[in-house]
Amino acid sequence: MSKVKDIVIPEGWVIEKIWNLWIISAWNWFPEIYQWNLKWKYPFYKVSDTNNLWNEKFLIKANNYIDDIIVNKLKWKIFNKWTIVYPKVWATLLSNKRRILKYNSLIDNNLWTFNIKNWSNIFLYYIFLNIDFWILCWDWALPSISWNTIWNISILLPQSLKEQQKIAEILSTVDEAIEKTDKLIEKYKKIKTWLMEDLFTKWIDVNTWKPHTKFKESKLGLIPESWEIENVINLMKITTWSKNTQDKIENWKYDFYVRSDKIEKINTYSFDWEWVITSWDWVWVWKIYHYVNWKFDFHQRVYLMHCFNNKIIWKYFFSFFKTYFKLRVDSFSAKTTVDSVRLEMISEMLIPIPNIQEQQKIVSILTESDNKIEKEIAYKNKLEKIKKWLMNDLLTGKVRMKY
């Protein structure tokens, strides 16, 4: 090994400026593309297509396609499969939106492209993920990344193409596992949504353990004949409090629930019961729900629901409230301008009430569904940590690969 300015260079690795590698800049411009009746052949990508993809690595979806006749007539550049693509736009680039083309494609002039002769593009993709553009450009006040910034970046990489490919193969395998886990999480979330639509309207008859067959009209529409409808205020108490955000104390024992999604800490507690919590700030409404069953305190702009009566169990209410409170809030916001959740939005909310056995069965099914989702989320978090460790070790040569 050797050192260059405190950088350890593993044996067989080199430091290269990107300008020593082969770089291609995008120059295609498509001002009127959406007005054309296009035949499908080459996908066309714009900077927004780097967002919201199933696969975190590849550009695999496109809303527009272009045929050879148009490409040849206008002399547009076709970029080959495995070309690295990343945005010129500052904010998008800083959020790590860097991708690889899965097909020969065209791209617009808001994307840089990066191709390397005699090097593994997938290996270089992972190198690019490791580049901290914020540190490189922290004092800029520009809306886009300049060519000179990219051009002068130095990267550490193995000279052996086989070692690059082996590292890329390992990291790609972890990426594929993360992608599969993401799809499972989405699948389980959809199943839970479908379940809730049925569970809260026409679920089981506890005598037969089959779906209800007899229904009646109610203020919530058709519900099973044996169910009741109640206002939330008739089933529990709703409480507000007096603490402010400045009352928080870092690294203390008790949870302090504030009006945002962050749970702070505090050195005293005011409550030690079962509670359901939501924020009353409009920006956080329907996004924050907590169930608490230990010592805690809470902010003055938070609602607590507690002291549930014998008609309802808290888990049933918690599941129903998380599912339907957004619809309730939307019905108010459609009528008037609202900047916070008023008490009556919760207290006068209608909720269907099955008997306790049915509630317990509903809760059991939803808990099983939640457990599946949480298990996959935990596995995904584990994979992402593994990927981070691998990138740290493999992309720096700390751990060498046999090939």
- Complete DSSP assignment for 67-115: -HHHHHHHTPPPBPTT-EEEESBHHHHHTT--EEESSSBEE-TTEEEE-
393 backbone dihedrals φ, ψ, rounded to 5°: -85, -45
Share of the chain above pLDDT 90, in %: 22
- Residue-wise pLDDT for 26-36, tens only, equals 555 555 554 45
Task: Report which of 122, 133, 130, 131 is spatially closest to residue 171, judged by C-alpha positions.
Answer: 122
pLDDT band at 6 (very low <50, low <70, confident <90, very high): low
SS3 category, 350: strand
Contact between 204 and 210 (Cβ < 8 Å) = yes
Average pLDDT, the chain: 79
Burial bucket for residue 224 (CB in 10 Å: 0-12, 13-18, 19+): buried
- pLDDT in the model for residue 29: 56
How far is it, in rounded angstroms, from Cα 258 to Cα 175?
36
- Residue-wise pLDDT for 199-226, tens only, equals 887 777 766 777 888 889 998 888 898 8
Residue 170's Cβ-side half-sphere holds a number of Cα atoms within 13 Å equal to 20
pLDDT at 103 over 50: yes
How far is it, in rounded angstroms, from Cα 254 to Cα 194?
36
- pLDDT in the model for residue 316: 92
- Residue-wise pLDDT for 226-278, tens only, equals 899 999 999 999 888 888 878 888 878 888 888 777 788 888 888 877 777 77
Contact between 77 and 106 (Cβ < 8 Å) = yes
Amino acid at 178: I
How far is it, in rounded angstroms, from Cα 302 to Cα 279?
4
Burial bucket for residue 378 (CB in 10 Å: 0-12, 13-18, 19+): exposed
How far is it, in rounded angstroms, from Cα 231 to Cα 63?
47
Q: Are strands 223-224 and 228-231 parallel, antiparallel or unpaired?
A: unpaired
How far is it, in rounded angstroms, from Cα 262 to Cα 163?
43
- pLDDT in the model for residue 35: 46
The segment with the largest mean pLDDT, out of 190-194, 303-307, 385-389, is: 385-389
- pLDDT in the model for residue 273: 74
pLDDT at 25 over 90: no
Q: Calculate the alpha carbon distances from 377 to 63, 316, 371, 394 in Å.
A: 30, 23, 10, 25
How big, in percent rounded to 5, are the helix, strand and coil portions of the chain?
40, 25, 40
- pLDDT in the model for residue 163: 92
Q: Are strands 99-101 and 106-107 parallel, antiparallel or unpaired?
A: unpaired
Across 76-103, average pLDDT: 74
Q: Calculate the alpha carbon distances from 380 to 1, 57, 76, 177, 303 in Å.
A: 35, 16, 40, 8, 33
Across 294-320, average pLDDT: 87
Task: Report which of 208, 134, 210, 125 is spatially closest to residue 171, judged by C-alpha positions.
Answer: 125
How far is it, in rounded angstroms, from Cα 253 to Cα 296?
9
Task: Report which of 291, 354, 292, 348 is spatially closest to residue 325, judged by C-alpha positions.
Answer: 348
Amino acid at 205: D
SS3 category, 57: coil
- pLDDT in the model for residue 69: 65
Q: In order of start, what are the domains of the chain with their CATH numbers?
A: 2-159 (3.90.220.20), 161-207+355-403 (1.10.287.1120), 228-353 (3.90.220.20)
Measured between its terminal Cα atoms, the distance across the chain in Å is 19
- Residue-wise pLDDT for 346-377, tens only, equals 899 999 999 998 899 888 988 999 999 999 99
- pLDDT in the model for residue 376: 96
- pLDDT in the model for residue 329: 78
